[in-house]
Amino acid sequence: MIRDCLVLLCWLCTVNGKIGYFWHITDIHYDPRYSTHGNTGSMCWNTRSNIDSGRIRSDQRPPGMFGEYNCHSPWALIESAAQAMRAKHGEGIEFVLWTGDALSHTAGMSEELRIQSLKNLTDLLSHTFTGQFIFPALGHEDTGVNFTQIAHLWRHWLPNEALVTFKKTGFYTIEQRSENYHIIFLNTNLWLSTSSIIDNRVPQRNGGQVIDHSADPSGQWTWLENNLRKARIKAETVYIVGHTPPGVYEREGGASALHEKHNKRYIRLVRQYSDIIRGQFFGHWHSDTFRVIYSDTGVPVSWMMMAPSLTPSSPGGPNNPGLRLYKFETNTGQVLDYKQFYLNLPDANSAGKANWITEYSMLAHYDLKEITALSLHDLADRFTQSSDSAFVRYYAANTVSLPREVEEIWGCGGALNGACALRHYCAVTRLNPDSYRDCLSSYADALASVGSQRVSPLHYVPYLLTTWLACR
C-alpha cells in the first residue's frame, strides 16, 4: 500500500515536473579584425597587402556583413544571434550554457585585445539576458588570458564559491539549490592531448599556467569524482558541461582531442555514474552531433550532445551559424527536446538582414519519443540502414543545413555514401579511438569482401552490424 502510494507520488511528480528552457551557445570565435572591406582570401581581414594592391583579386570578394564560411565571426553576426535569442526566448529561461572558444587564436590578438573582446561579449550577453545567469566554460582558444581577470568579468553570473574555484583552476560547479540537480563545468583544457594543442596552435600557457602533464592536472579528476559521489549520496542528478568533448571527430576521425588517458578515464567515470548524469553538453567540433556511451556489457547508458558553433568556419568544413534551445524538466534535469535555430549565411548577406529561423526540433526531426541513451543508440543504428532517412537528416543537421554547393566541396559529397555514414556512425557510438578504428575497419574489411558487386555498401550494414555487435 505504502509502496503503491510512493509509486503514485513519483508518477505525479514526473507528470507535474516543471518545464524549463536553457540556451546553449558555443564557439563564437569573435574576430575583431573581420572587415567587410577585407577579403575572403585572407581571413576576411583588411590587410595592408590588399590595400596596397588597390583592388581585390578576381577569385576573391569582399566579405559579407554577417560572415563567410572560411572566416570567423564578425560582431554583426554575434549581435544578430543575441537579438535572435532574446526574440525567440529571452524571458523565462533557467540559464544559458556558453561553452567556450569565444575567441580565436588565428586572430592573433594581444592579451589586452583578448580581454577587451571577452568583455564586449560578456556585456552583450548580459544585456541580452538581464534576469538570467550565464554559465561559461573555457575553450581551448580562450587561453592566454589571466583567470582572475576572466573571473572578474563573470562575477555577476557565478556565485562566490564558483568564482574562487574558477580563479584557481578554470572549473567550477553550480548548485541549483531549489532543484534537485547541479551542473558541473569542466576546464577541458587541462585534459587536452599534446597533438591537439599543437594542431590548434594553443600556446603552452593556460591562463598563465603551464600545461600540466600529471595524472590529475589541477586536481580536476579528484574534484569531479568527489562531486559525482556527493551528488549520488544526496540523490541529485547532474549535467556535465565543457568545451572539448571526449571521443573522436566525426568528420575526420581518428584521434581524440582529449589526451587518450583522460579520454578513457572520462568514459569510465560516466559509465560508473550514468545513473545520476542527466546530460553532457559540449562544443568544440563546430558541428551538430551527439555521442552514445555504453556500459562494459554494451548497454547504452549515457549520451552527450554537441551543439554547432556560432562561427561558420571550421577546419573540418564549414557550417551555418547555430543556436540551440533545450527544453527540460527542472526538478530532475531530464532533457525533453531541443530546438535548433540557424542562420542561412548567404541569404543573410545578400538580404543585409539576419533572419534566424528554426532548423529543426530533435524529437520531430528524428521521429523520436524521448531523449535517452537507448533512443539515441537506436537513432545511430538507423544511420546504417539505407531504407531509413535518419542519416540524411542527421547529415543535413551536422553541417547546419549548409547549401548543397558548399557541402559538396567539403563533406560526404553530393552522394551520401556508405563510408561517410560509417565514419559518423562509428564516431557517434565509439568514443575510444581504438574501438572507433576497429568499428571502421571491421566494416571496411567486410565491404571489401563484397568486392566489385555494384551494390550500395549501406545495403550490407544491418548484416555487418549484427555480426559486429556479436563480436564486441
Ligand X SMILES: *[C@@H]1O[C@H](CO)[C@@H](O)[C@H](O)[C@H]1NC(C)=O
Binding stretches for ligand X (CB under 6 A): 32, 113, 116-117, 120, 146, 148-149, 208
Which part of the chain contacts Zn ion (CB under 5 A), choosing from 21-29, 126-134, 144-152, 342-350? 21-29
When binding is defined by CB under 5 A, the residue of 23, 25, 27, 313 that contacts Zn ion is 27
CB of 25 to Zn ion, least distance (A): 12
CB of 148 to ligand X, least distance (A): 4
* Nearer CB in complex with ligand X: 126/149: 149
Which of 432, 369, 357, 367 lies closest to 394 in space, CA to CA? 367
Sign of CA dihedral 178, 270, 279, 94: positive
When binding is defined by CB under 5 A, the residue of 24, 33, 105, 140 that contacts Zn ion is 140
* Nearer CB in complex with Zn ion: 247/333: 247
* Nearer CB in complex with ligand X: 63/300: 63
36 binds, among ligand X, Zn ion, none (CB under 5 to 8 A by kind): none
Residues 6+ apart with CB under 8 A from 427: 247, 248, 249, 250, 253, 289, 291, 436
Does the footprint of Zn ion cover residue 31 (CB under 5 A)?
A: no
* Nearer CB in complex with ligand X: 170/322: 170
Q: Running DSSP on this structure, what letter comes out for residue 372?
A: S
Does the footprint of Zn ion cover residue 288 (CB under 5 A)?
A: no
CB of 323 to Zn ion, least distance (A): 15
CB of 233 to Zn ion, least distance (A): 34
* Nearer CB in complex with ligand X: 146/372: 146
CB of 170 to ligand X, least distance (A): 12
CB of 125 to ligand X, least distance (A): 13
When binding is defined by CB under 5 A, the residue of 31, 68, 101, 236 that contacts Zn ion is 101
Alpha-carbon gap, residue 471 to 436, rounded angstroms:
14
* Nearer CB in complex with ligand X: 211/465: 211
Contact (CB, 8 A) for 293 and 377: no
Measured distance between the N- and C-terminal CA atoms of the chain, rounded to whole angstroms: 44
Residue 265 grid coordinates: 578515464
Contact (CB, 8 A) for 442 and 468: yes
* Nearer CB in complex with ligand X: 76/255: 76
Residue 374 grid coordinates: 537507448
CB of 30 to ligand X, least distance (A): 7
For the stretch 369-388, what's the b/e string if a residue is b when 16 or more beta carbons lie within 10 angstroms of its beta carbon? Answer: eebbbebbbebbbbbbbbee
Contact (CB, 8 A) for 142 and 107: no
CB of 207 to ligand X, least distance (A): 7
Provide the residue count of the chain.
472
* Nearer CB in complex with ligand X: 125/376: 125
- For the segment 34-53, give every residue that binds Zn ion (CB under 5 A): none
List the alpha helices (DSSP H) in 204-320: 220-233, 260-272
Of all residues in the chain, what percent are helix, strand and coil, respectively (each to 5)?
Answer: 40, 20, 40
Q: What are phi and psi of 392, to 5 degrees?
A: -60, -40
- Run of H or E residues at 164: helix 160-169
When binding is defined by CB under 5 A, the residue of 24, 105, 284, 324 that contacts Zn ion is 284
* Nearer CB in complex with Zn ion: 38/139: 139
101 binds, among ligand X, Zn ion, none (CB under 5 to 8 A by kind): Zn ion
Does the footprint of Zn ion cover residue 105 (CB under 5 A)?
A: no
Contact (CB, 8 A) for 304 and 266: no
CB of 109 to ligand X, least distance (A): 8
Alpha-carbon gap, residue 337 to 367, rounded angstroms:
12
> Which residues of the shown chain bind Zn ion in the complex (CB under 5 A)?
27, 101, 139-140, 284
